[in-house]
Amino acid sequence: MSRNFPLAGLLRVRAMAEDTAAAELASARREERVARDRATRTAEMLGSSRPPGEADIAAWQAAVAARVALSSLLSEDLAAVDRAEQQVGRRQSEWTAARVRTRAVDRLRERHEEGERVQEEHAEQVALDEVAARSAAPTTPGEDA
């Protein structure tokens, strides 16, 4: 007859916290990937924009304004990538801490289960020894075995 692990509720709560932290980390990584893709597209657009060949001053000014706008947008996108990377770092730390807390209780559960197994094996061995002792005991004539 084994006892239930007394900290099973705590282990479930810690496992749920770890799952939540893992989901938040995955979300932060997705956001980082989106920010990085957006910055890459903006950089490609900036790199592919060319000043007009022979054009009037208005076309030239429009091309310069477009490049300035793309450059500004790229700066914003790169800042968003930095923020997303920092968020991933924070979420990674939170997940790691949650994993450590869960693993600590999980190790206690493993020790508890091992102790229960040892106790059950000991009780079984005692019962087997008792049966063996009874069958090996000499019976006297007149005694029912």
Segments of 74-124 assigned E as strands: none
Contacts 24+ apart (CB under 8 A), 43-50: 43/74, 45/70, 46/70, 46/71, 46/74
User: pLDDT at position 116, please?
Assistant: 95
In a domain, 121, yes or no: yes
Mean pLDDT of the 98-119 span: 96
Q: How many CB atoms lie within 10 A of CB 28?
A: 21
Number of domains observed in the structure of the chain: 1
- CATH number where 50 lies: 1.10.287.1700
pLDDT band at 59 (very low <50, low <70, confident <90, very high): confident
In a domain, 144, yes or no: no
7, 109 in Cβ contact below 8 A? yes
In a domain, 29, yes or no: yes
Lowest-pLDDT range of 1-5, 45-49, 61-65, 90-94: 1-5
User: pLDDT at position 50, please?
Assistant: 84
pLDDT of 112 higher than 80: yes
Mean pLDDT of the 29-45 span: 98
In a domain, 1, yes or no: no
